[in-house]
Every structure is written in structure tokens, then in C-alpha cells.
Structure 1
Amino acid sequence: MSKNPIIYLLYTGWRYAEKYRPLFLCYLVMYAASQAIMLAEPFVIGQVINCVQISATKNFADHQQLEHDILFYLFIYFLTQVGFWIFHGPARLIERFVAFHIKVNYKSSMFRKITELPMQWHREHHSGESIDKINRASIALTEFFDNTFEVAYMLFRLVGAQIVLMCFMPVAGAVSFTIAATSVGIIFWFDRLLYNNYKELNKFDNTTASAIHDYITNIVTVITLRLEQRVLPEVLRRLNAPLNLFKHNNNLVEIKWCLTTVTIGVMVVVVLGWYAHDTLSTGKVLLAGTFFTLFEYLRRIGDSFYNFAWLYGSVTRQAADVQSAETLEAAHAERAETPEKFDLPKDWSSVEICDLDFIYEDEKHRSHHLTEIDVFLERGKAIAFVGESGSGKSTLLSLIRGVQYTDNAKLKRDGVELKGALKCLHGCTTLMPQDPEIFADTIRFNITFGVEADEKDVQEAIRLARFDNVLARLPAGLETNIAEKGINLSGGEKQRLALARGIFFAQDSEIVLLDEPTSSVDQQNEHIIYENLLKTFKQKCIISAVHKLHLLDMFDYIYVFDDGRIVEHGNLQTLLNKNGRLAELWNRVDSERAATMDEVSC
């Protein structure tokens, strides 16, 4: 793609205009027509002045003819103004309509691409930076296409005035063209330097945005640890980091403006001086109207260059903003090189995950691994994953859902290996995580994510998650905004709200994964919630990471994890009778419970 920022932005807008591309071309043609009409304006006014001057040399002998000529040209002038708005007004309305849809298409496309990127990419890239890039790019595109007429008029005036001069005064046209080309070269050279600097400034802004995003989203930590004054210097350091580059950019901008102004001044002086000398040296009369017309066309060329220098700088900045978001598109394009989709057969009743191996490093640089994992999944069965923290339960659930990915795994149905392996499970699986993500919005939005929903389905999800008693005490029910003052949910209540959301969206899933989503819920409510889930989803395959062993008698089959391996599996009674790893965990829990009871009795 061209490095010219105007061409780059036009190309980008063309991509996202989609079905509105004919309207895009339409309003550009209308702008060209409006400027073609306005090209007559200097000539018309010049003719009025010439009429007065010629009549004055004749001592205004024919007043009626002079009045007729003046009124005629003034009427033509009036028609140019009306003609201009006949094209300009509708074109502006169409332009803003197209700009709106370009913004909508761009933002929706970027949102889709971001959500399709794997979890590992999100772990390695700061959300604050990604948000800042998308917002900057969206604003830049909107500003450019809201005001395309400025770029169009600048080009049409420049080219139109140049054509008029070349047709009626070839020498003046040649001189102005030569100097104009010099000005363009100066502007391009400076803006190429500025473009690279703008990209660097954007990087500084991205790092600042990520810091501010972190501090604000974790404001409770900042306040409770009294970090307000400690984090401010870091924010200021990031804000001031680009100061030297910022000052250097300002120097370049002012030098560019100075050289542009001087070049345009040279053009006006040389052309008008030549015209005056050529006219007077041949004994001709120097008509004021013609002199004014020539000056006005030169002024338009000059103004076009002033506008060009100003607009090109702004457009360069806008192009840099849009291009900064291309890293997100590139990441998506790299991932989307193999877009083949895999699904489970519709009539599946059981599948087996075989020979799964996986190693990864988390955000704290701790290594995790799964080795030689074999798990049998059956529709209508409830499966429990048991083990201490870090044993691999959550990692396997994330692989089944597709939050993480490994090539080292097989998926078999009736002994036949399925192409795509774990990818076959991604499209029919819902994962309910342990850590609830609660949004500063209404209870309804936190459950439905703004998706249109049947009220009965929403209420049923709330009931199953045991959130109904919490909802009853909220002032506005489902429309209660969590961000409002006085609305405080405990950790367990937040988990139940997030669980209601998971239940609501799991209705069309064939495999439901539970990664200890009730870890902060009291034991009584937790037991009822699991009973509700197992009853409601009895036709699905349910897999749950279980830390509280009192829930295990509700599951059909248990896999026991230890250090990334499955060390035993079977039903609860069989495993307890084996006196293996599960029995060890079970006895430990019993001992801890007994010790607690002794302390209470004392």
C-alpha cells in the first residue's frame, strides 16, 4: 500500500465503506462540480472591474450599457453561489453519512478481530494499549472522512486554478506550476520526517495509556495501599518522556510553514511582476480586473498550498494513528492463515481426548505442564477434575475450551481420530471461570451482555445461580447499575452473578466446563447450585474442577490430577477404596475439619 497518507487513508476508508462505495464516489464528483462552478468567480469579478475601468476611460459615456454589464456579471456571480450549494450541501450530507458507516464498520471489524485472537496473545499484549490504538485509529478515520471535502477542495482548487492559468496565460501557468511543484516537494519531505516522529509519539502515548488503564482499573489497590502519590510520578514520567521529540516536531512544523509561505510569496511576486512588465512593455493597457483575476487565481493556488501544508500535516498524523492499529490486524491475519473450521459430529455421544501434552508459561513466568493426558467425555455424564492448586485442572479446561491451544493432542470418536483434534470441541463448549468479570453496568447487562433475551431465560439463569435472593434486595432489580453508590456485592455474590451469565449463555452448548465458579460461595448455596446445574444440563457433558470434596458424590466420574498428570480415575467409592491420591486428599480434609471442630469446642 502507498506510503502517501492521503492515498493510504482513502484506501482504508474505501475498504470499510463496503456497500456505500458508490456514495463515496458520488460525493467526490459533486465536490468536483461545486469547485468547477466556483472557478468562474474570480473571472466574473474581474470582468466587473474591467467594465468599470473601460467605461471610466470613456468618461462613463454609456451608463446604461455599464449598468447592464455589471448587473449581468453580478447575476452570474449569484448563480455561482447557488450552483456551489446545489452540489456542496447534499455532498456534505452524503459524506457524513458514509463517514458514520466507515466508523461503524471499522470498529466492529476491529472488535471482531480482537475477540478472535487467542488468550495467549491477550496475555502478551496490554489491553490498555490495544484500546488506545483502536480508539485513536477510529477517531482519525472519522475526522478524515467527516472532512474529506477539505482535501477534495484543496486538490480541485489547486488543479483547477492551474488549468485556468495554463489555458489563458501559459507563461504564468508554467511559472506557478514550477514553484508549486517545489512547494509540494518541500511539504512531502518535511511530512515524511513528521510521519515517523508521529508514530514514535503514538508509542509513547500507548505506554502512558496502559499505565493509566492499570491504575484506574485497579483503583481499589491504589487507594487501599495509599499509592496515589507514588503512582503519580510514574504517570508524569511517561507523559513527559516524549517531550524532546515533541519539541523537535514543533521545530520541523514551523520551518515547513516558513518555507511554504516564502515559496508562495515568490510565486505571486514573480507571476504578477511578469504580467505587469509584459503588458506595459508592449504598450497595452493594464486592466485592473484582469490583474485582480490573475492575483485571485494565484491566491487560490497559494491558499491551496497553505491548506495543503496544514491538511497534509493533520492527515499524516491521522494516517499514523490508523497505521498504529495495523499491528492488531496483522496479528489477526497471521492467526487466520488456516481458517478451516472443525466441529464435533452432531450425533456424538462420547469422545476421548488422548495423548495430550502441553507446556506453557503464565504471566508470572511460572511453568505449567500437562503430560500424557487421556480423558473420556460422555454426553449426559458429570465429570470432576480433582487435585491441588497448580496440578493442571484449569489448564486442561482452558485447552478444551480453546482459551489455550496445543498441537500435541488427539480426539477420537469410537476409536477413530477426528481431524482438528481439540478444535472440534471449541465451538460447542462454554467455560465458567473461577474469577468473575463484573462490568460497571446493570445487572441485566452483566447477565445478557446486551443481547436480546427472553425474560424467562434470564430469570431462570438467576434462579439456577441462586442470585434471586440477592436481586430481591437491589433497588432497581435487573436495572440496578453496579457502578452506583451503595451497590456492593460480596465475592460470592459476584460469582453467582457471573454464574448466571454463564448459565444463560450455556444453553446451546454441548459441553459445559466449570472451573470452580463457586469457590467463594457458601457451602449451602454451592451445593444447591451444583444440584441445579447437574439437573438442568443433564443432557450435556459437564466437566468441573472441584476443590471442595464434599461435592464429589454428585459426579459420575472423577479424574485425579497431580503435577500435570492424571494419577487415577474412577467413581468416588472406587477411588476411596483404592487408598490412592484422592483418598489422601479426602482424609486430609477430614483431619482439617476435625481439627477445626476441636478448636471450636475448646
Structure 2
Amino acid sequence: MLCLSMGCAATLCRRTFGFPSRLFGNMPVFVIESSWNMFSKNPLLNLLQYLWHYSVGAHRRVVWFVVLSALGNVVWLLSPIVIGKIFDVIQFEKSGSQQVTLVAWGALALVVINAVGWFFHGVSRVIETKNAFLARKNYRQTLFAKTMELPTSWHKDHHSGDTIDKINKASERLFDFSSELFIMIQNSIGLVMSIVVLSLYDVRPLVIVLLAAMASIIMVIKFDTRLIKQYRTINKGENFIAAGIYDYISNYVTIISLRLKGQAVKEMETRSMKPFVVFGENSKINEWKWFSANTLISIMTSGALLWNAYNSYRDQGVIVIGTLFILYQYLTRVGDSFYTFTWKYGEVVKQNAAMVAAEDILREHAKLCSEKPAGLPRDWKVIQLKKLNFTYRGEDGDQQERQAVIDASLSIERNKKIALIGVSGSGKSTILSLLRGLHRADSVSVYCDGKKLEKGLAHIHEQCTLIPQESEIFNNTIEYNITLGVHLDHKEVERVIELANLGGLIGRLEKGLKTSVLERGVSLSGGEKQRLALARGLLAAANSQFLLLDEPTSSVDVENEVQIYQNIFNAFDDKVVISAVHSLHLLQHFDYVYMFKDSQIIGEGTFNMLLNDENFKVLWRNYSVECQQKKLQV
């Protein structure tokens, strides 16, 4: 009997990834605690524990399909005994009529054995495949959820294509293992029952069987120890290939525009061939493994049969055909069990390698602080940030970095509209990302109504929605790009469409909201893509106290841009709006302005106050020249 020695069930948690809970509802996420320590290094035990762990709420189902599958195989394994007895009847029974009767009963028994065996096996397979589907779903949801919770710095250091490939490969390998567990059960039952039957007939052949079994297992483990390392190398190579395909296809407009198609194809050829040497070496090792296992099995079967035939003839003067057949059948099943085990264990090693590759995500997520996010007092009035500093570090964290924010101090009054201005790279976007929690400040003191908040910016992170400048467009309908597929009241969707001034665009389209946009939104202009992304962000910000805008209308024409900001200020009059602004003509609509230069705040005040600031005059003059140049170009 196959013994499932597995871990405890996972805990259930919920997260909405910055969107209000009404959008995503109660999406289940299954948590693994210290997973890389929890699971055994043995590939088979590792995958069994994964199967058990992600069969959340269905452990009884796992037990049932294992028991039913085992029963089905036990029943089927009675067939050789029935056929062997039929041969004995034919060989030793002298009465012809009695022979026919006994053979008829034996034939009927074979039919019953087959039907009963299939009943148990069929039911168990249905349960097994359903559970495999759910285990894959739970595992994929966990990896996806935890990937989305990892900090921006992790995502910058890990290629999206590589991460996607790891998640997909690991999820499919878990499904493959979970849906094919009946093969392992079949092997285990076949091996155990065959050994029991062989021991009942003659203990001596059993010695040959056990010796061959031990030798086969040791040999397989030796071969696979080397194969495991090389499968990991091959998986890394395939992840690298997937990352390249993702890059080139997702940026195909740039590739074609710059006439880089040939170089891209050549690079993919190079990447595709990189794992070939290891792959070829693995093939040779695999074939040697198969040859060695098959040779051992042949020696075991032939030796045991010869031993039985010799002893039968010596003791009885005749070779008993029925007994010899039964021994042959069970010896063959033992051989088949080891042969199948060798093949299946190789598959398990590959499947486990894919799962291990994805454990990086779980390992990194476990490092995150498990504390619940801090909040703000319900009736807060003013938040002050003092001595805020942040430095962008390289991938290896070396100290040759760039200070992005230096000793910045800001005051945020409830429901006020605040603008951040300055040239590109002056620190505006970094301030917004720090408020949202995409980066962690090096140092800062945060006060709420004069009282220091011990957890600093963590009190603000979950109260913010940040709408970035770059407009991510999904290859789907306009409606999906706004709602991300979540079913909402149509009035809410119409509301954000109006706020983002998208009504005219949608009205011109034949299918309206159901119109599909081309991949990466290339069928839309830059301004239209920004407004579409803005509508999505405004929908997500419904339950946020802070709306952070990182120049989300930089590609929108002046008339639409002014109207959009007025719409936002009217609709979000009960929220703080902090916006990085390039179009200085918008400043008169803001309550307060912070001016950045070289990562520092060099001026602040209302728009009218800044008109007398020398630094602002320079900024305004440069902006006026820029606007004039654009006007002349038109």
C-alpha cells in the first residue's frame, strides 16, 4: 500500500492587491509557511507533500481515491492465480467434462475480476483528476498572489517572462503528478502483492527478487542524483528562453521599427541551443539507466523461473504449468513495477525540479514582514513627513547609488489637492512610490496631528492608490481594461468613463465598451491609452484616502487634461490628491505646490505664492518656451 505521509493543511487568507475588496471579493490564497524547509529533499516525497498541502479541504477525497485505486489493483492482480488454476485443471484433471466446468467457472471469475477492478479504478480516477485540477488551481493562485505581494525591487530584479514561465511550469507539473498518482499506486500494489504471492509458492525466488529490487533502486537513485542537477540547469535555460520570447513579442513594434527582427531571431536561436549540451548528456544518462534497469529485470525473471522449473521437476518429476505461469506473471509484474518505477521516477524528478524552481517566489515572500498593515486615525487632519530620504540601489545592493530624495519634508492636509513639480528625475515620482509602499524609505519621521506614527509610512501605504504615467493596456476589451474582468454596477463604470473623458471615444466605436483593443493598446493613441488606464485607476481608488497621480495625463491634449483634473477634484473632493505635474497651467487648480530640484524640495506654497519665487520663474519660463515650440510645430 502506498503510504501518504504529508504535511498539514494550509491557512486561508485574502488580499486585494490595492483594489477595494468589492472588486475582487474573497479570492482564496493558500499560504505555505517555510515551504522550502517543510518539504523533503526526496522528489517523490516532496511532490506528495505538495499534493496533500494544496488539496485544501479535500484531504478525504485524496484518501478515497488512493484506497479505491489500491482496491482496484488488488482485484486485478487475482487474474494470474485464476488462469494458473485453469492450467492446473487442464494439466492434471482427467475428466473432460469436469475440465470444461472448471474452466468455465474460471472464465466467469476473470470477467467479474475485470468488472470489479474497473469499477474501483474508474471511480478513483474521476476523483483523482478532479482533485488534480483543484490542487493546480490552489497552487497557481498561491504563487500568483504571493508574486503580486512581493516588493517592486524584487520585480525589477526578476524578469516577468521568467517568473511567468516558472509559475506555469510548476503548476502544470503539479497537475501532471497529481493526475498520474494512480501509476505509483499501481506499481506499489503490484510489487507488494506479487512478492506476497511469490513467497507463498516458493520463498527462494523471492530472494532473487529482493536482491534485484535493492540493486535496481540503488542504481536508479545514483543515476537520478546526477540528472536532478542537470534538470535544474535545463529548467533555468527554458526560463531564459521564455523571458526572451516575452520581451521580443511584447515589444514587437520596437523590434520591427528598428529593423531588429533578424537579431531577435538569432538571439532566440542562441538561447534555445544553450541547454542542448546538457540535454544531450541527460539523454545518454537516461538510456544507460533504462538499459541497466531492464537488464536487471530480465536476469531476475529468468533466474527465478529457472529455479522454480528445476525444483519442480526434481521434486515432482514434472514442471507444473499453472504454478510456472503464476510465477511468471507475478515476476513479470515485479519487473514491470521496477521498469515503470524507473520511468515514472525520472518524470517525478523533472516535475520536482520545476516545483523547486518556483520555490524562490515562496522563499522571498516568507521574508516579508507578516505584521498587519498599520492605519490612520479615522478623524486625522494633518500628516507631516519629516527628513524623508531614499536612495536607489543597484541590483547587488552596492553603495554606488543615486540619492532620489534628500531630506524632504511635506505636510498633507486632509482633502487637499497637492501638486509636485520639477524637471524629470527631480524626485516627484519617487515620493509617490514611497507613499504607496513600492519602495521603502531609508529614513523618515511621520506625524499625524502632531503625534509620531511608529511604523512611519506603513500607516499610509494601504490607504493609497497610485496611478502611474505608463499606461498598461491589456489585450482585451475596453470594458475589461477598466474593470479587469470584475462584474460591477454599470453606473460605476460609466462614472469613471466620464471622469476620464472617455465617453467620446467609446461613443465612436461600433461595439462600445465591448470593443477589443490590439495587444499593448497600439490601436489607441497615447492620450487615449492614458485615459483608459486613468479610468481603471479611478475605479480602483474608490475606497482609498489618498489618490496619487504620476503625470497620468502627460500625453493628453491641454483641453482634455484640464477637464479631467477638474472632474477628479470634484469627484474626489473628500480625498487627498497628490499629483506629479508637468503641465504648469494646471497649478492654479491645486491647493498647494511642492517644487523639486536635484532630489530636494527647493520651494513650496500656493500657486500665487510661487509666482514670486525665482526658481519657479525659471521653471515657468522654460515651460512657456516648451509650449510655444509645440504650438509652432503644430
Compute the TM-score of the two structures, normalised by the length of structure 2: 0.91
The residue number in structure 2 matching 1:355 is 387
The one of 71, 80, 86 equivalent to 1:33 is 71
Superposed displacement of residue 517, structure 1: 0.3
Superposed displacement of residue 404, structure 1: 1.1
The residue number in structure 2 matching 1:96 is 129
The one of 326, 336, 344 equivalent to 2:376 is 344
The CA distance in 1 between the partners of 2:73 and 2:245, in whole Å, is: 46
The CA distance in 1 between the partners of 2:344 and 2:372, in whole Å, is: 44
Superposed displacement of residue 167, structure 1: 3.0
The one of 222, 247, 251 equivalent to 2:255 is 222
Matched to 2:338, the amino acid is: F
SS at 1:259 equivalent: helix
Matched to 2:447, the amino acid is: K
- Residues 216-365 of structure 1: pairs in structure 2 closer than 5 A: 216-335=249-368, 337-361=369-393
The CA distance in 2 between the partners of 1:308 and 1:164, in whole Å, is: 20
Superposed displacement of residue 193, structure 1: 1.2
Unmatched runs of 5 consecutive residues or more in structure 1: none
The CA distance in 1 between the partners of 2:618 and 2:221, in whole Å, is: 75
The residue number in structure 2 matching 1:17 is 55
- Residues 534-545 of structure 1: pairs in structure 2 closer than 5 A: 534-545=569-580
Matched to 2:181, the amino acid is: T
- Residues 136-147 of structure 1: pairs in structure 2 closer than 5 A: 136-147=169-180
Matched to 2:617, the amino acid is: A
Matched to 1:99, the amino acid is: A
The one of 203, 210, 233 equivalent to 1:200 is 233
Query: Does the 8 A contact of 1:359 with 1:370 survive in 2?
Result: yes
Superposed displacement of residue 363, structure 1: 8.3
Matched to 1:253, the amino acid is: N
The CA distance in 2 between the partners of 1:435 and 1:595, in whole Å, is: 24
The one of 604, 616, 634 equivalent to 1:582 is 616
Superposed displacement of residue 151, structure 1: 1.4
Query: Does the 8 A contact of 1:342 with 1:419 survive in 2?
Result: no
The residue number in structure 2 matching 1:563 is 598
The residue number in structure 1 matching 2:33 is none
The CA distance in 1 between the partners of 2:519 and 2:220, in whole Å, is: 52
Superposed displacement of residue 71, structure 1: 1.8
Offset from partner CA, 1:81-120 (integer Å, 9 cap, x none): 1210121111001001100100110111111000000011
The CA distance in 2 between the partners of 1:485 and 1:220, in whole Å, is: 10
The residue number in structure 1 matching 2:86 is 48
The CA distance in 2 between the partners of 1:377 and 1:477, in whole Å, is: 40
Superposed displacement of residue 594, structure 1: 6.0
Matched to 1:39, the amino acid is: L
Counterparts in 2 of 1:25 and 1:288: CA distance versus 1, 3 Å: same
Offset from partner CA, 1:155-197 (integer Å, 9 cap, x none): 1111221122123321111221111111111111111211111
Compute the TM-score of the two structures, normalised by the length of structure 1: 0.95
SS at 1:190 equivalent: helix
The one of 513, 524, 534 equivalent to 1:499 is 534
Query: Does the 8 A contact of 1:368 with 1:392 survive in 2?
Result: no
Q: Decide which structure has the larger Cα Rg and report it.
A: 1
Superposed displacement of residue 587, structure 1: 3.0
Offset from partner CA, 1:400-437 (integer Å, 9 cap, x none): 01111124112211211112111111111011111100
SS at 2:337 equivalent: helix
The one of 177, 181, 197 equivalent to 1:148 is 181
SS at 1:114 equivalent: helix
The CA distance in 2 between the partners of 1:283 and 1:390, in whole Å, is: 97
Superposed displacement of residue 78, structure 1: 1.7
The CA distance in 1 between the partners of 2:522 and 2:276, in whole Å, is: 42
Matched to 1:217, the amino acid is: S
Superposed displacement of residue 328, structure 1: 1.2
Offset from partner CA, 1:220-255 (integer Å, 9 cap, x none): 011111111121111111111111111110110110
The residue number in structure 1 matching 2:482 is 447
Offset from partner CA, 1:43-98 (integer Å, 9 cap, x none): 0000001100112xx3xxx2232122112222222221121012111100100110
Of 352-361 and 463-472, the range deviating more from structure 2 = 352-361
Superposed displacement of residue 350, structure 1: 2.1
The residue number in structure 1 matching 2:197 is 164
Matched to 1:360, the amino acid is: Y
SS at 1:351 equivalent: strand
The one of 161, 184, 194 equivalent to 1:128 is 161
Of 120-129 and 469-478, the range deviating more from structure 2 = 469-478
SS at 2:544 equivalent: coil
- Residues 547-558 of structure 1: pairs in structure 2 closer than 5 A: 547-558=582-593
Counterparts in 2 of 1:260 and 1:595: CA distance versus 1, 3 Å: closer
Of 484-493 and 82-91, the range deviating more from structure 2 = 484-493
Query: Does the 8 A contact of 1:166 with 1:174 survive in 2?
Result: no
| Count of aligned pairs | 593
- Residues 468-507 of structure 1: pairs in structure 2 closer than 5 A: 468-483=503-518, 488-507=523-542
Question: What percent identity do the matched residue pairs reach?
Answer: 38
Query: Does the 8 A contact of 1:362 with 1:368 survive in 2?
Result: no
Unmatched runs of 5 consecutive residues or more in structure 2: 1-38
The CA distance in 2 between the partners of 1:513 and 1:262, in whole Å, is: 70
Superposed displacement of residue 261, structure 1: 0.9
SS at 1:19 equivalent: coil
The CA distance in 1 between the partners of 2:387 and 2:370, in whole Å, is: 23
Matched to 2:284, the amino acid is: N
The CA distance in 2 between the partners of 1:542 and 1:457, in whole Å, is: 20
SS at 2:236 equivalent: helix
Counterparts in 2 of 1:363 and 1:196: CA distance versus 1, 3 Å: closer
1:4 aligns with 2:42: yes
Matched to 2:205, the amino acid is: A
Counterparts in 2 of 1:448 and 1:363: CA distance versus 1, 3 Å: farther
Query: Does the 8 A contact of 2:475 with 2:521 survive in 1?
Result: no
1:111 aligns with 2:149: no
The residue number in structure 1 matching 2:501 is 466
Matched to 2:321, the amino acid is: A
SS at 1:506 equivalent: helix
Of 173-182 and 114-123, the range deviating more from structure 2 = 173-182
The CA distance in 2 between the partners of 1:290 and 1:419, in whole Å, is: 81
The residue number in structure 1 matching 2:19 is none
Superposed displacement of residue 272, structure 1: 0.7
Counterparts in 2 of 1:409 and 1:226: CA distance versus 1, 3 Å: same
Superposed displacement of residue 596, structure 1: 7.3
Counterparts in 2 of 1:491 and 1:203: CA distance versus 1, 3 Å: same
